[in-house]
Amino acid sequence: MRIIPAIDIIEGKCVRLTKGDYDTKKIYNENPLEVAKSFEDAGIEYLHVVDLDGAKASHIVNYKVLESIATKTNLKIDFGGGLKSDEDLKIAFNSGANQITGGSIAVKNPEVFQNWISKFGAERIILGADCNNEKIAISGWQEESTLEVIPFIKDYQAKGIQYVICTDISKDGMLEGPSFELYKRILEENKNIKLIASGGISKFDELPQLKEMGCEGVIIGKAIYENRISLKELENFIING
């Protein structure tokens, strides 16, 4: 299972929100590159970068931060937040993203999202299936749709999607543990999907559980920044599996 720390960007700074609420913003570091390098030094290979300004603006904003991390580390970066056009994707990939995540676009403009899968390749496109009460949330989590998360994933898997990040918004930033039950059902009903668990990770012991369940990756944010999980623990997990 891949360990994927998260860096959320507002105005070029590394921040975290609670349940996606911009009013709860907490700045952890003025320099995201410094944070990324600390992850790489701990033997971590992957990074999840979210352009929160982009999510609000509905187009890529913080691509210079992405470029800085991509050129000054060897981290494999998945990048999301407000990507809406082919031009946004070209900027993201040209700035060093290995994969991009599309959430709102997959709901609001499925034709464009499907075109990305065929144009850029399924291995480079991640479906962002963020949900509240198992209903897909969009527009930086400001809106809730009527779509149920499991059928939503199933529909896109039939269209070629391989990777899915699923965040249970009610858990995000709460440090109360992830949605084990939801992930279990997603994996049971969507065979061979590469599920990346996100939201609520609070302690190290949850990681082996997610691995045992069959998650392909796990995104960890606040638990690292609040020192609930140490980089040393993550390093040992990566080495020892």
**Mean pLDDT, contiguous 10-residue spans, the chain (241 residues):** 97 93 94 98 98 93 98 98 96 98 94 97 97 86 85 97 95 90 97 96 97 98 96 96 74
CB burial string 118-135: b at 16+ within 10 A, e below: eebeeebbbbbbbbbeee
pLDDT reported for residue 16: 93
C-alpha 220: how far from its chain's center? Answer: 9
Of 183, 161, 162, nearest to 171 by C-alpha is 183
Buried b (16+ CB within 10 A) or exposed e, 162-180: bbbbbbbbebbbebeebbe
In the chain, the amino acid numbered 98 is N
Q: Are the beta carbons of 143 and 149 closer than 8 angstroms?
A: no
What φ, ψ does residue 160 adopt, rounded to 5°? 115, -10
pLDDT, residue 54, reads 94
pLDDT of res. 140: 63
Query: What is residue 241's predicted lDDT score, i.e. its pLDDT?
Result: 74
Residue 139's pLDDT is 73
The enclosing H or E element of 107 equals helix 104-108
Q: 64 lies in which domain range?
A: 2-240
**Residues annotated catalytic, as ranges:** 8, 130
**pLDDT computed for residue 106 by the predictor:** 95
Sign of CA dihedral 101, 107, 112, 115: positive
Domain at 233, CATH number:
3.20.20.70
In single-letter form, the type of residue at position 19 comes to K
Q: Supply the pLDDT for residue 112.
A: 97
The pLDDT score that the predictor gives to residue 173 is 81
Domain count, the chain: 1
